Amino acid sequence: MKNNTGKRLSSGITIFTLVPPFLLALTLIMTANNVHANIAKTHTSCMPHDQPLSYTCKVNLSFQSKPVSNAEMSVSAEMPSMPMAHNMRQIIAMPVADLVGQYEFFLVLEMVGDWRLIYNISSPFIDRLHEPLIIGISEKPKEHKSSHGHTMADHSSVDTADHN
């Protein structure tokens, strides 16, 4: 390899800088394992509102597969493709009467696309759960058919068309 001045760079340096990342990558890929277990999970379904890009969402919160009632939970959303660009105010998710573990909130988004709901739980435990939400041009979000924990690891078992 030659530099601008025509001097030859040491091929040893090039190999030294190139080989470790590839070895690391190979090691990580070869030792990959998938574990499917989560503690806290959310399962969200959103219905479009009269106003454009507005949705009434219902979320079921569970902890170790048991519904969690009286949780203090706020929701925000971000677009993974534009991190830090969308700063939404936190929305309080209110418990739905007579339905243990179910909460409701009103969501107004800025545009169509792939969003990620972020649940900040402050009580009875502190956690942050993430769940993808896809808003199509028809403005009807696709309802998720399975639960989502904060690791999203169980997504691999869900119809990928929901998430891609």
Partner 1 sequence: MDMYLASVLTNMTLIAFLALSAYLVLVVGEVSFGQQAFFGIGAYITASATALAGAHVFWGLLAGAIGGASCALVLGLLTIRLSGIYFAISTLCFAELLRFFLLHLRFTQSVDGRIIGPDGPEGFSNIRWIFENNYQVTDFLLLAVTCLIILLIVLFSLERSPIMLGARMVGNDPILAQSQGLNPTRYRLSFITLSGAVAGFGGGLFALFNTHIEPAMFGVMLGIHGLAYAVIGGLGSAIGPLLGVFLDIGLLESIRSLAAYRMIIFGGLVALLLVFRPEGIISPRLVSHLKSRWRNRHV
For residues 47 and 54, give the distance between their C-alpha atoms in angstroms, rounded to a whole number: 9
Cβ proximity of 19 and 9 under 8 Å: no
Cβ 144 to partner 1 shortest distance, Å: 13
Q: Which one of residues 104, 127, 139, 162 is an interface residue with partner 1 (CB under 8 A)? A: 127
Residue with the two structure tokens 């909130």: 105
Phi, psi of 65, rounded to the nearest 5 degrees: 70, 5
CB 119 within 8 A of CB 128: yes
Cβ proximity to partner 1, 69 vs 125, nearer residue = 125
d(CA 118, CA 77): 6
Does the protein bind partner 1 through residue 90 (CB under 8 A)?
A: yes
Q: Is residue 8 near partner 1 by the rule CB under 8 A?
A: no
Q: How far is the CB of 139 from partner 1 (least distance, A)?
A: 12
* Integer-rounded Cα radius of gyration of the chain: 22
Instruction: Report strand pairing: 102-108 vs 54-63.
Output: antiparallel
Chain position carrying tokens 């590839």: 22
Contact call for residue 123 and partner 1 (CB under 8 A)? no
Contact at 8 Å (CB) between 115 and 136? no
Binding to partner 1 (CB under 8 A) within 23-42 occurs at: 25, 28-29, 31-39
Structure tokens at 23: 């070895």
Q: Report if residue 150 touches partner 1, rule: CB under 8 A.
A: yes
Q: Which of 17, 51, 65, 70 binds partner 1 (CB under 8 A)?
A: 17
Is residue 80 within the footprint of partner 1 (CB under 8 A)? yes
One residue of 96, 104, 106, 114 binding partner 1 per CB under 8 A: 114
In the complex, which residues of this chain contact partner 1 (CB under 8 A)?
1-5, 7, 9, 13-14, 17-18, 20-21, 25, 28-29, 31-39, 53, 64, 80-85, 87, 89-90, 110-111, 114, 116, 118, 126-128, 130, 149-153, 155-156, 163-164
